[in-house]
Amino acid sequence: MRYLIISDIHANLTAFQAVLEDAGYYDYVWCLGDVVGYGPDPNECVELLRSLPHLSLAGNHDWAALGRLDIRTFNADARKAVLWTREMLSPENRAYLEELPTTFILGDFTLSHGSPREPIWEYILDPLIAALNFQAFSTQYCLVGHTHTPVLFRELRENGGCEVVMPKYRERIPLDDSRYIINPGSVGQPRDSIPDAAYAILDTTSGTWEHRRVPYNIDAVQQRMRKHGLPDRLIMRLEHGW
């Protein structure tokens, strides 16, 4: 089976479409949450996702758009975008988001938006946090999003630590018998200084993982954001990838 692995679409339809076009053939989509929030196309992105053979998790921005989270912890720009998204979401798309779980366990894979021990909130930004999270899931692999940065953490059996493996794009990595926590990066708001949309292809038949990047028409997204009065900082960051 060939899986398209996506996360943090963040209501960016143009980036989402570019990823689907670039991905080629796949059997199924695993979406790791944050379908909405920040971007100008919340309904369009939920609808496109719903039209695909897929499963999706809920992320913190999905919950915020549903009013399930106290958004006082969000920065002012994110808060503005959340409130705008809340107003825009159609009842059907809201109902879809309401049903999303926070974790999936599928064969060798645990899926969660933030981390296996704190699926909605925790950011796995460094090997220390990753090492602690290896104890929080029992499958061989765990897929996460939330940081908007593609990365692999490989568990080191010798000392209970883990090493960071930086992604090489368009290169199939064999998933060996190590345990991994893997982040495909963000479709709609990359934060690793590369503005291209990020995603991954998991091939369970050959046992390989492949990180990918694809450019998209950022200007078109920024124009829609301006039209809707979304915050300038959120508009600008797309072209810089932060």
CB of residue 210 to Zn ion, shortest distance in Å:
22
The answer to whether residues 112 and 102 touch, using CB atoms and an 8 Å cutoff, is yes
CB of residue 241 to Zn ion, shortest distance in Å:
14
What tokens appear for 198 in the block? Answer: 């990020």
- The residue assigned the tokens 């124009």 is 223
In a 10 Å sphere around its CB, with 0-12 CB exposed, 13-18 middle and 19+ buried, how is residue 48 labelled?
middle
Nearer to Zn ion by Cβ, of 146 and 212: the residue is 146
Rg (CA), the chain: 17
CB of residue 59 to Zn ion, shortest distance in Å:
6
Q: Cβ neighbours of residue 22 under 8 Å, at least 6 residues apart?
A: 199, 212, 214
Distances from the Cα of 50 to the Cα of 46, 47, 63, 216, angstroms: 6, 5, 18, 22
CB of residue 53 to Zn ion, shortest distance in Å:
23
Which residue number has the CB closest to Zn ion?
Answer: 34
In a 10 Å sphere around its CB, with 0-12 CB exposed, 13-18 middle and 19+ buried, how is residue 55 labelled?
middle
Instruction: Name the site residues for Zn ion (rule: CB under 5 A).
Output: 8, 34
Nearer to Zn ion by Cβ, of 34 and 44: the residue is 34
CB of residue 10 to Zn ion, shortest distance in Å:
6
CB of residue 146 to Zn ion, shortest distance in Å:
6
Nearer to Zn ion by Cβ, of 34 and 155: the residue is 34
Nearer to Zn ion by Cβ, of 8 and 44: the residue is 8
In a 10 Å sphere around its CB, with 0-12 CB exposed, 13-18 middle and 19+ buried, how is residue 51 labelled?
exposed
Nearer to Zn ion by Cβ, of 112 and 155: the residue is 112
CB of residue 158 to Zn ion, shortest distance in Å:
33
169 residue type, one letter: Y
Nearer to Zn ion by Cβ, of 69 and 173: the residue is 69
Distances from the Cα of 79 to the Cα of 46, 198, 227, angstroms: 20, 24, 18
Nearer to Zn ion by Cβ, of 34 and 41: the residue is 34
Q: To 5 degrees, how large is the angle CA 31–CA 210–CA 212?
A: 75
